[in-house]
Amino acid sequence: MKEAFKNKQETLFKIGQEISGFVLVKEELVEEADGFARTFEHKKTGARLLYLSTEDDNKVFSIAFKTPSIDSTGVAHILEHSVLCGSRKYPVKEPFVELAKGSMNTFLNAMTYPDKTMYPVASTNATDFMNLMDVYLDAVFYPNIYQNPYTFYQEGWHYHLEEEGDAINYNGVVYNEMKGAFSNPEEILQNKIFESLYPDSPYRFESGGDPDVIPDLTYEAFIDFHQKYYHPSNSYIYLYGDGDVCEHLEYLNTSYLADFDKKEIDSSIASQKPFSKRAELTASYGIASDESTQKKAYMALNYVLGETMSFEKGLGFLILAHILLNNNASPLKEALLELDIAEDISYHYSNSLKQPYFSIVLKNTDEDKKALFLDTVETVLKKLVADGLDPLAVEAGVNIHEFSHIEGEYGTYPKGLVYIIDMMETWLYGQEATDYLKYKPVFETIKGQMKKGYFEKMIVDMLLDNPHQSFVTIVPKKNYQEELDQSIADKLAAFKDGLSPDQLNNLLAETQTLIKKQNEEDAPEDLAKIPKLALSEIRKDAKTYPLAVAEAFDTKLLYHEGFTGDIAYLKLYFDYSHLDQDELKVLSFMCKLLGSLSTGNKDYRLLNQEIEINTGGLSFGIESYDDFMDHGQYQSFVYVKGKAVKDKIPQMVDLIQEILTGTLFTERNLIRDLIREIKTQKENQFLTAGHVIGVQRLQSYYSKTARLFEELGGIEFYRFIADLDLNFSEKFDKLSESLKAVAQKVFMGKRPIISITGSEAEKTQVLASLESYLLSLKAQAFGKNSYNLKQQVLNEGFMTAAKIQYVSQGYNFKNLGYDYSGSMLVLKSIISMDYLWNKVRVQGGAYGAFMNIGRTGEVYFGSYRDPKLAKTLDAYRGIVAYLKDLTLSQRELEKYIIGTISNKDVPISVFVKGEVADNFYFSHISHDQQQKERDQILGTDLADLKAFISMLEEILDQNIICVLGSEEAIRQDADLFMEVRSVK
């Protein structure tokens, strides 16, 4: 912290002082956040406000409301969507979307939790920040939901009937979102855990909305919820960054808060009375008709850990859970895996509730294994208390969490945003918000007590002697979803049959009115009310990413200089192009094993402990880079990443070398467990990230690198893993030999390219530590294999147990002879934020829809948690006509340009800058090309956009599609596909 900033802040205010209607209640220097935290109370309304003043220009604002659920209709979730659909000052259909189009925001979203709803925004531009704040405050306090019930119908649910002869169905964005969520057995399990642990508390309800219950929500109850909870007296307001405190307080008071009076609001969260004995609950979930029901159950042992915990206690238990269950070497997870009764074991701990909870979960098991599961947990925990936890395991758990706090690496998320999400875990329940920031003394306390039974006492008090438990089982059931769907269809058919002619006509008219409103364009004068920056305020120069290319040990060195707080980031890129094609899947699997198996010198338990004691983590994987300058060419590497504080760089490098050169691929049981874990995780992705899986598969039809990814991580890799699981006994010996051979070829052959991010001193230390290992390798290149990555258009429809679809279509424009232009990114913004948002999300009811376009020629369209299939593909085909008819005022065009540039200007850490610089280096994208792209974005006009019509027309004419979705929907539209199949 600069001395001038500190001196100014220290003399700014006095406790008890009134500033623009706010009274300063508390002020403190928070060393860990490098800033001053001030707690205010608004005198007239009682609104709470926390201002964290720092020198960070990535300013954050958030307003949150305590919103405990009263049922499972998802009213809080629907309201979160709906208040952002027009307000008093901004009477357009989608102010949120208009902001996303034309703001330099670094974060823009809203989130519903089990007991609170948050509306955070962030920007580095002071004017933009005020604009964002104003739109959000007007939205939450003065939404148009009172004048426009069709917002509730669109975002929540409605009876949808377009033609008299049609069947009535339910539609609505949140309804379809939650249908997608409840397609995932883990989501159902989570719902049942809450129901079992908190039967008399608001937490027993599904705050996101249970799709079977959402249609019980009335418009009147929806309005009542807003009237009750969305008031300053029930709010938690937060500001972070280098903004002017007085200016912001004055604005908040005069523009909004002064218009309200203090109101007594009962938003209390009733505590669940502790149980005297374990509760039990069993439920079902649906699986595809061709799936076996064997080993498909999920079981969870769950604990409520008492009332609101202090930051120290909460952090302590988080570390304890990590020690017990984080990896396959953790004592409780290892013991459960040895039972061989489940394919994966996971845990979940949440301190963001008034009464925190902890769950131990068995995935893909059989329900008759319950007693064995429970007995093993109790036996292991008692033994750990009696014998004491392994001191190295404790040290490792404490160190890895302390490293994470010190590093403060949040990727593209603003630091101030992460702070408030964490601080709400204490602030909402009446504790000091800033406790969550002050981690240094807490870690000192924990480290001082960890050898004196600190964690063992937690095991006794919070687990073994805690009767507030539940045991939840969910079991697979074939045709379960079909039965539910039929039940809903019968219910809706009976509802329709019961309508009088007038009621039926009213429903038809209501549906048509909704469609009409969804298709209406906002008045230009209303759109003009949405504030925006001027193009003149946008920086003209492209960002630079530090990169110095040099040689070290006869290999390439990529160095990214920057201040990282004495942390060194190392990445090694190993060429694997000399491997045979049939070794590629083995290579990918090997990367997932590294660091989890023993080496010649270290047992896998000790290895895991030493990684966490000496580093901030090691990771292994494969990355591919398409060549921007030479279409169709690419580079692909196995990477090894590590990070450590400067004093532990030698230990980090020693551990990397130990793993790369000494891993034993003979540990049969460990490898079997990891196979099952990977398989389970991939199967979960099919239900929760079908848009990602579908697009990757789609691209493999026409892209070499995407086809390569199929071998390394896509559906083909999943099938390889599933086959290993099914035939493990017969295949293990050969697999073990192949893993060893591949590791030797990759890690004991040619020297890798080195990438280092940090200071000059850290670079020197890393290179000195690497020397002996690198000099043991060869400097010359190997022969390169030409892989047969045959592209073939398959147009597959993959059937899953999901209740919704993920619909993708696309192609590569460079294959058609078109060149890349930065203006394409403006086109992407327009089609995503205007056309697809309206056609697929607003009118179609999908939770999300998007277009993506890339420098290497990729163009694809996708939908997320989409109730439609054929209609979505029709919507994609309508893009050409939309673009032909497109007219934009200069103001609207500038909004899209600014919104496009904002994605380029999100602040990122020195570490992430190093990652980006490497990406550009391997893809052969120069700074001049980045500047050209920025110039093209800023210079985009309507003619540039229209020039892409023929390109999009040709792409859509290829008719290349891939869909993951429900069996019913895929079979109903089977004629769209060349092949209909199970994803498994």
pLDDT at 5 over 80: no
Q: Rounded to the nearest 5 degrees, what angle is found at the Cα of 288, between the Cα atoms of 283 and 292?
A: 80
More confident residue, 543 or 2: 543
Where are any strands of DSSP class E within 18-168? 18-19, 22-30, 35-42, 48-53, 59-66, 105-108, 111-112, 116-123, 158-160
Q: Name the residue among 180, 213, 253 with its Cα closest to residue 75.
A: 213
- Section 889-896 average pLDDT: 94
Q: Rounded to the nearest 5 degrees, what angle is found at the Cα of 343, between the Cα atoms of 341 and 345?
A: 90
If DSSP states are collapsed to H, E and C, what string results for 205-229? CCCCCCCCCHHHCCHHHHHHHHHHH
Please state, in angstroms and rounded to a whole number, the distance separating the CA atoms of residues 862 and 860: 7
Question: Could you tell me the pLDDT band of residue 983, with boundaries at 50, 70 and 90?
Answer: confident
Q: Can 155 be counted among the known catalytic residues?
A: yes
Please state, in angstroms and rounded to a whole number, the distance separating the CA atoms of residues 945 and 339: 61
Q: Kindly tell me the burial class for residue 562, based on how many C-beta atoms sit within 10 Å of its own C-beta (0-12, 13-18, 19 or more).
A: middle
Spatial contact of 598 and 665, defined as CB atoms under 8 Å apart: no
pLDDT digits (tens, 9 = 90+) for 653-684: 999 999 999 999 999 999 999 999 999 999 99
Question: Could you tell me the pLDDT band of residue 227, with boundaries at 50, 70 and 90?
Answer: very high
Euclidean distance between the first and the last CA atom of the chain, given in angstroms as a whole number: 54
Please tell me the least confidently modeled range out of 50-54, 304-308, 594-598, 938-942. Answer: 304-308
Spatial contact of 222 and 152, defined as CB atoms under 8 Å apart: yes
Q: Can 954 be counted among the known catalytic residues?
A: no
Residue-wise DSSP of 255-268: HTGGG---------
pLDDT in the model for residue 782: 64
pLDDT at 569 over 80: yes
pLDDT digits (tens, 9 = 90+) for 809-849: 999 999 999 999 999 999 999 999 999 999 999 999 999 99
Question: Could you tell me the pLDDT band of residue 13, with boundaries at 50, 70 and 90?
Answer: confident
Taking residue 779's Cβ as centre, other Cβ atoms within 10 Å add up to 11
- Section 439-455 average pLDDT: 96
CA–CA distances in Å: residue 720 to residues 15, 237, 710: 65, 51, 11
Helix, strand, coil percentages (3-state) for the chain, rounded to 5, are 50, 20, 30
CA–CA distances in Å: residue 124 to residues 57, 402, 529, 765: 5, 29, 22, 35
Spatial contact of 656 and 618, defined as CB atoms under 8 Å apart: yes
Active-site choice (94, 98, 155, 343): 155
Q: Which two tokens stand for residue 494?
A: 């009976």
Please state, in angstroms and rounded to a whole number, the distance separating the CA atoms of residues 394 and 805: 44
Q: Rounded to the nearest 5 degrees, what angle is found at the Cα of 767, between the Cα atoms of 766 and 771?
A: 120
pTM: 0.94
- Section 513-531 average pLDDT: 92
Q: Are strands 796-800 and 961-966 parallel, antiparallel or unpaired?
A: parallel
Please state, in angstroms and rounded to a whole number, the distance separating the CA atoms of residues 329 and 19: 55
Spatial contact of 154 and 172, defined as CB atoms under 8 Å apart: yes
